[in-house]
């Protein structure tokens, strides 16, 4: 990992359908930055016009390979015995600043997902697996005169943020767009208020933030050699990005991961993969500690010839997964709530094939605190 600090990083990002230059300056001590599905290490800047044209971006930092980990500060973020909870509440939110917004998917992805970096100045610390609440501007349509309701977003970075200094946090946001079923045209009045606000934000914009909240998805660290099976659809990968950066990217003195992290990610196609280069780099650097399986519903077929969904990948590796769970592995689910029925049906079918009661097994997993679910 490069040792020199980067005082300025420049890149361009298509935001809200147009390319706007995004610049983050004055961030000290950056050895590695990762936004969207790119991971950049070092301080050099370069423009590769051909590659940039293919991805829709203009100027990128030079990507280098290194097995060294990134130093993080301040280490007193490790000293808390309990996670911070609801430091800021809806009636007294924190005013944070947008650092950058970058489109995180390729041109052929259905819809738009953005990687949003927020500067909280170190005033709203959090742990991996927690969520922030965002209050979009404007009036609550159901309660005139009152602010908008809080929208929760899983945090997609470690407690040290993408700048590794404990002052930023990242969100992975899919722009919610509504199309009239009769006309097929977009109806802006029914679009997601908060997701469009975040994806349209520009560096320097102020946002109202609450939290952090949540304990269900916290990464258990009492056993650094534990197995963690992570299952996500789309932006549900957000908390896992935080886990994996903590495990494989950051030099955290009191957490040396030596176990197995196994990520299953379900998206529509290759262009929809989030943080793919970052995860792939972990595969190369830590082949004994990281596994990564993708379910691309529009590009892959399951064993029956139908579309490949994440539950099909789970079934494919079900015997191994059940053995790991029997050995104490933690299993996590994050994404749209519609993912769970199919996954539950698959797990139940596999359990029955093994001569086990899924209801009893699930009850035991919950009792042992091995089962973690956060869907929306």
Annotated binding site: 154, 174, 235, 297-298, 307, 335-336, 374
Which residues participate in catalysis according to the annotation? 153-154, 334, 374, 376
Contact (CB, 8 A) for 244 and 292: no
13 Cβ neighbours under 8 A, 6+ residues apart: 19, 20, 22, 35, 36, 57, 100, 101, 102, 103
Residues annotated as binding site for NADP(+)? 154, 174, 235, 297-298, 307, 335-336, 374
- What is the C-alpha to C-alpha distance for residues 321 and 337, in angstroms, rounded to an integer? 21
- What is the C-alpha to C-alpha distance for residues 191 and 110, in angstroms, rounded to an integer? 16
Contact (CB, 8 A) for 257 and 289: yes
- What is the C-alpha to C-alpha distance for residues 121 and 168, in angstroms, rounded to an integer? 7
């Amino acid at each position: 990992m490069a040792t020199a600090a980067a005082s300025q990083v420049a890149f361009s990002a298509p935001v809200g359908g147009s390319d706007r230059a995004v610049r983050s300056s004055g961030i000290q001590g950056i050895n590695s930055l990762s936004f969207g599905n790119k991971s950049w290490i070092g301080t050099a800047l370069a423009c590769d016009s051909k590659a940039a044209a293919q991805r829709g971006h203009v100027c990128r930092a030079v990507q280098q390979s290194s097995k060294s980990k990134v130093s993080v500060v301040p280490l007193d973020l490790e000293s808390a015995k309990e996670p911070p909870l609801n430091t800021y509440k809806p009636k007294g939110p924190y005013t944070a600043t947008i650092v950058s917004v970058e489109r995180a998917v390729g041109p052929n992805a259905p819809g738009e997902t953005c990687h949003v970096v927020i500067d909280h100045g170190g005033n709203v610390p959090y742990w991996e697996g927690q969520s922030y609440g965002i209050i979009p501007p404007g009036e609550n349509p159901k309660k005139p005169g009152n602010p908008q309701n809080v929208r929760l977003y899983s945090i997609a970075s470690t407690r040290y943020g993408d700048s590794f200094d404990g002052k930023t946090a990242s969100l992975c946001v899919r722009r919610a767009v509504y199309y009239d079923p009769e006309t097929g045209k977009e109806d802006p009045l029914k679009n997601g208020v908060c997701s469009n606000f975040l994806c349209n934000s520009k560096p320097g914009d102020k946002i109202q933030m609450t939290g952090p909240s949540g304990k269900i998805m916290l990464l258990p660290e009492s056993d650094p050699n534990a197995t963690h099976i992570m299952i996500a659809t789309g932006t549900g990968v957000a908390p896992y990005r935080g886990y994996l950066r903590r495990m494989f990217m950051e030099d955290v003195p009191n957490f040396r991961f030596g176990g197995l992290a196994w990520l299953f990610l379900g998206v529509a196609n290759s262009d929809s993969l989030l943080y793919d280069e970052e995860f792939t780099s972990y595969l190369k650097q830590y082949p004994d500690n990281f596994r990564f399986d993708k379910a691309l519903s529009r590009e892959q077929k399951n064993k029956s010839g139908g579309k490949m969904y994440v539950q099909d990948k789970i079934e494919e590796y079900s015997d191994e997964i059940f053995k790991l769970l029997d050995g104490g592995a933690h299993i996590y689910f994050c994404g749209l709530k519609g993912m769970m029925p199919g996954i539950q049906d698959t797990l139940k079918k596999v359990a029955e094939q093994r001569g086990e009661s899924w209801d009893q097994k699930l009850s035991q997993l919950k009792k042992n605190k091995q089962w973690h679910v956060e869907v929306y």
